[in-house]
Chains A and B, each alone.
Chain A
Amino acid sequence: MTERLRIHVDPDKCQGHARCKALAPELFELDEYGNAHEAGDGTVPPGLEDKAWLAKSNCPEIAIDVIEE
């Protein structure tokens, strides 16, 4: 389990449910409309991997990718 995770929000799928921001506030940011994008370049800092998966599995629009690098 040494691989790093990177997250990406598909802006065409995100509808602003904001579940990711509630569950993993360190990993996501919302724009003025409340739509989400990944914080920074999407790299998941060590220790926050569970939150990344949790956000993905609670997104009603299936808009979040978690990429194992």
Chain B
Amino acid sequence: MSDVSQPAAHPPVTDWVHDFDHTDPQWTEDPFPIWDELRAAGPVVHTERFLGCYMPTTYEAVREIANDSEHFSSRRIIVRDVRPEITSRNSAPPITSDPPVHKPAKQLLLPPFTPDAMKKLEPRVRAICNELIDGFIAERRLDAAERYTKHIPVRAIAHMLGISESDSDLFIKWIHMILELGIKDETMLLQAVHEMSAYFGAHIEARKNKPTDDLISYLMNARDKEGNPLEDSHVLGSLRLLLIAGIDTTWSAIGSSLWHLARTPADRERLIAEPELIPNAVEELLRAYSPVTMAREVVKETTISGCPVKPGNMVLLSFPAANRDPKIFPDADKVVIDRRENRHAAFGLGIHRCVGSNLARMEMQVALEEWLKRIPDFALDPAGTVTWSQGTVRGPRQLPFLLGKAM
């Protein structure tokens, strides 16, 4: 039941422009009007919370920061109440790496995640979706987050890593501790990292004697430019990253997409009539409901859209807010499933583009295709409540649906 526990509360926000808080319940529930307010106030805003934090509000400012690793380091990528010490034990290369260390670490992870590699994984993901749907299709009411969206990415990444899909609940618990509870409670963060390291450490040891055909063995067999194997701590860090980054994020993206379709019969009917439009709709849903907010730490004095920032300052890098910037996206607040021009930043911009973007896209497409094929009629259950995850990754954690035609 760790899933329903919430991090310690901050004082409620009354002045968003000078005191924003991306963990405030109002932001969690409906961030879109807040982002409009912040954008109207200026291209960058500041809060004293989280030991002081800046937030660029426009797409262009977000792009500039994402492309400037000289001044903005990725060694801290989550805005927290505390600044945990940076060690090899809590780093997760390449997402927490800067140049020149970043590129070789990233290149190591890229080949297993190309679009072609994802095509090979697609039948397994399709089967996972159908197994899940089989489990609830006869029911009239269900929580689609708990029964469907949550399990697709966790099983897909477990399949790739070569670990048991039945350990899913464990992975989901760790992620909740790191990404949500860990924002305000460092013990939770450290405990989760410790448990994950022990779990993967055992898997690494087992493969030393008996190599397998999976992502863990792939990383263990990888060689750096000098031909040396990676240190165990690097392998562990990358495994932690793949698990953390591969689950909550896509769970959120699939959930937000179904949430939108449950409330928007016209889009649902169009995608059923024109399933070839689903990949395009996925891009638009990624833009409108981007799950992931990252951060950077300022390491060299500079400015953001004219505002001076100093080493040690944290910067909240809200790709979701950037994707609602009306200067870049006409009708930014509307979901236009056949939008033709869409340079959205849901997977980040610059060198830290999400390694798993092709995986996430494939999972979203398959999850929507299979759902719409088998469950063309569904709606939000008025007797239930939709809840959203807080902070770094936003998506529905309870998604009460009624299946079938409305009576």
Contacts and interface: CB of A to CB of B under 8 A. Distances in A.
Interface of A: 15-19, 21-22, 30, 32-34, 54, 57-62
Contacts of B111: 32-34
B358 A34 contact: yes
A18 B344 contact: no
Contacts of B279: 22
B384 to A, nearest CB: 36
A17 B347 contact: yes
Contact of B110 (A33, A57, A60): A33
B115 A21 contact: yes
Interface of B: 107, 110-111, 113-116, 279, 283, 340-345, 347, 349-351, 353, 357-358
Given A58-B283, A58-B342, 13 more contacts: A15-B350, A15-B353, A16-B110, A16-B353, A18-B115, A18-B357, A22-B279, A32-B110, A33-B111, A57-B343, A58-B343, A60-B353, A62-B343
Nearest to A16: B353
Contacts of B349: 15, 60-61
A33 to B, nearest CB: 4
B8 to A, nearest CB: 36
A34 B110 contact: yes
B353 A17 contact: yes
A18 B343 contact: no
A60 B323 CA distance: 11
A-B pairs with lowest CB-CB distance, top 9? A15-B353, A33-B110, A34-B114, A57-B341, A60-B343, A32-B111, A18-B115, A34-B110, A58-B342
Contacts of B110: 16, 32-34
Contacts of A18: 114-115, 357-358
B113 A34 contact: yes
A62 B343 CA distance: 9
12 contacts: A17-B347, A17-B357, A18-B114, A18-B358, A21-B115, A22-B279, A33-B111, A34-B113, A34-B358, A54-B340, A58-B343, A60-B347
A32 B106 CA distance: 13
Contact of A30 (B114, B283, B341, B353): B114
A30 B341 CA distance: 21
Nearest to B280: A23
B344 A57 contact: no
Nearest to A21: B115
B402 to A, nearest CB: 34
Which one of A18, A30, A34 has the highest number of Cβ atoms from chain B below 10 Å of its Cβ?
Answer: A34
Contacts of A22: 115, 279
B341 A58 contact: yes
Nearest to A61: B349
B343 A59 contact: yes
